[in-house]
Structure 1
Amino acid sequence: MILLLDTHTFIWYVTDNSRLSNQVLEFINDENNEILLSIASLWEIAINQNLGKLSFNQPFEIFITQQLNLNDFRLLDIKINHIAVVATLPLHHRDPFDRILIAQALVENIPILSADKIFDAYPTRRLW
């Protein structure tokens, strides 16, 4: 199965945060699943690191590259058709990073691994 990580899911996974559900851990650790991380999540992480809301033991680029390789996560680029869907989404949620992740999950027809229940207001499949 192909799965898209929400930004917090990625951060919690790579920092061994106990807030991850057992089901999410199973999905991520199942070698038969392909795990995607959106470029939008990297952008969000970089902003939060710059604001001092996140801190890693290494520079951003080194940390992210190592985690992508170590965990065999693949990056999902932002495409025009993803952005076109953002333009049509109802405004249940105004977070621009979440809205692009929702659009990507819809366009790519893949579930998103997220604890964020607001995603349920959209026609996406949220797993947690």
Structure 2
Amino acid sequence: MRLLLDTQILVWMVNGDRRLRGAWIEAISSEEASLHVSPVVAFEYVDLQQRKRVPVDEPLAELIERFDLSVEDFPADCWRRASSLPPIHRDPVDRMLVAHALAGGFTLATADANIRKYPVPVI
């Protein structure tokens, strides 16, 4: 399974947060899983870290290596797909994440209830 992690799941994973449980833990730790992040998630993680909004000190480059993450480029038409999504989620970054998951055939790992309303595979 190709998992595209949203920022919240990534932060929980780094911190060993107890909210990361059940299906998320099973999917992330599965031998069949490959873990991916979108450029917007990578940027948001670094931005949150720089502004001290998340309790993590680990640089993203080290995190990528430790968890064997792959930063996936956006498909060229991802912006078009994102702009055609209904505005269920008001955050355009989250709509880009949904579009990226749809375009790349990813399952999106998210705790965001609004993202879960889109027609994208989620855990």
- Calculate the TM-score normalised by the size of structure 2: 0.91
- How many residues align? The count is 123
Match of 1:97 among 93, 96, 118: 93
1:84-109 CA deviation, whole Å, 9 max, x = no partner? 11111111111122111100111112
Q: Answer whether contact 1:6 1:114 (CA < 8 A) is retained.
A: yes
Equivalent residue, structure 1, for 2:40: 40
Flag structure 2 segments of 5+ consecutive residues without an equivalent: none
Find out whether 1:2 has 2:12 as its counterpart.
no
Structure 1 residue 55 displacement after superposition:
4.1
Query: Contact 2:75–2:104 (CA<8 Å) still a contact in 1?
Result: no
**If the length of structure 1 is used for normalisation, what is the TM-score?**
0.87
Quick one: which of 62, 69, 77 aligns to 2:65?
69
- Which range moved further: 44-53 or 117-126? 44-53
- Percent identity between the aligned chains? 28
CA contact (8 A) 2:5 2:35 kept: yes
Runs of 4+ in 1 over 3 A off after TM superposition: none
| Matches of 2:67 and 2:47, distance apart in 1 | 22
CA contact (8 A) 1:44 1:97 kept: no
* Residues 59-97 of structure 1: per-residue CA shift (max 9 Å, x gap): xxxx21111111111111123211111111111111122
SS in 2 for 1:20: coil
Contact 1:7 1:41 in 2 (8 A): yes
Q: For structure 1, which runs of at least 5 residues remain unmatched after alignment?
A: none
Structure 1 residues 22 and 7, CA gap change in structure 2 (3 angstroms): same
CA–CA distance in structure 1, aligned partners of residues 84 and 57 of structure 2:
39
1:78 counterpart = 2:74: yes
Could you tell me how far 1:54 is from its partner in structure 2? 2.2
Q: Secondary structure at the match of 1:31?
A: coil
Amino acid at match of 1:87: S
Equivalent in the alignment of 1:116? 112
Q: Does 1:126 align with 2:119?
A: no
- Offset of residue 22 of structure 1: 2.0
